[in-house]
Amino acid sequence: MLVLVGYLVVLGTVFGGYALMGGHFGVLFQPIEVLMIGGAALGAFIAGNKGKTIKATFKELPRLLRSTKRDRQLYMDLLGLLYELLAKARKEGMMKLESDVDKPEESEIFKRYPSITADPGVMEFLRDYLRLVISGNTDAFEIEALMDHDIETITHEALVPSHSIARVADALPALGIVAAVLGVVHALGSANLPPSEMGELIAHAMVGTFLGVLLAYGFVTPLASLIEQRVAEGMKVYQCAKVTLLASLNGYAPQLAVEFGRKVLFSTERPSFMELDEHVREVKAR
């Protein structure tokens, strides 16, 4: 929703300022130049990306209009789930987690955390590394290195739409100049017109440069930036799980292991020590 608010601010300040200086909006209405710039940008985007990149980008764009689900309660659920799993493993042995990990839809522990089970990426990450821990054939250093590579891959894949959109934004000013140059060529080709009409044609041509720069920095670049922020926020779920599991592998009690995981969260979503401690107590009582 903030995306639309930002766009309204951009439009209001730019065109409001233009109106205050006495500009005429009729001159700015150039649908043909919009077609040229937008069509060229879309064509360049299609030509410069693979099918899966195009699909991922168009899939990501509608999500930007929705608020993120990465709130404090989600992390509390994640830490609560990890605590229950690690506490069960500590009490009954790692092999007792095998049924929970293999069939989470039947696990009483996983059923209590629908916000986590609803995310297939997070569930795959948790189950894969819990299986490795259960196998007992790897040490903490090996699992940490593997987790780092895994998170790096997930991050790179999640940033693909941002990079593709950023490249389109970089091209838009130049495409605006292309439209403006064609407009100037058209004006010069009509040199027999009176000066007033010639001036109008040149003004129409200059709108192309204006539109290219406005679309690039007022509309498209913010989308790439927003995707980057969302990816950085989303990776905290994986980092939190990673640090918690590694702390457990290094011999820390479940209650201390989840405290390790808490510390990697951003301050805006991170629960306090007392909040997490109270949450763990509630989980124990349950």
Per-residue pLDDT tens for 21-44?
A: 888 888 888 888 899 999 999 999
Neighbours of 191 (CB within 10 A): 7
Write down the residue that tokens 């389109």 correspond to: 168
Residue 271: phi and psi, rounded to 5, are -70, 155
Cβ(214)–Cβ(14) below 8 Å: yes
Low-confidence ranges of the chain (pLDDT < 70): 69, 191
Number of other residues whose CB lies within 10 A of the CB of residue 210: 16
Residue 92 exposed, middle or buried by CB count within 10 Å (0-12, 13-18, 19+): exposed
Q: What is the pTM of this model?
A: 0.85
State the Cα–Cα distance between residues 181 and 202, nearest whole angstrom: 10
Instruction: Look at residue 95 in the predicted model and tell me its pLDDT.
Output: 85
Question: What's the pLDDT at 76?
Answer: 93
Please state, in angstroms and rounded to a whole number, the distance separating the CA atoms of residues 206 and 192.
20
**Cα–Cα distance between 172 and 220 in angstroms, integer?**
9
Question: How distant, in Å, are the alpha carbons of 38, 40, 84 from that of 49?
Answer: 17, 14, 44
Those residues whose C-beta lies under 8 Å from the C-beta of residue 28, and which sit 6 or more positions away, are: 15, 18, 207, 210
The pLDDT score that the predictor gives to residue 190 is 73
Tokens found for residue 138: 């790897």
pLDDT at 53: 94
Residue 161: what residue type? P
List Cα–Cα distances, 9 to 3, 16, 27, 67, 195, in angstroms.
10, 10, 22, 19, 36
31, HSE (Cβ side, Cα atoms, 13 Å): 0
Residue 76 CB: number of other CB atoms within 10 A? 20
Q: Which pairs with CB-CB distance under 8 Å and at least 24 residues apart come from 41-50?
A: 41/168, 41/171, 41/172, 41/175, 41/215, 44/168, 44/171, 44/175, 45/164, 45/167, 45/168, 48/164, 48/167, 49/164
Nearest to 151 by CA among 181, 126, 176: 126
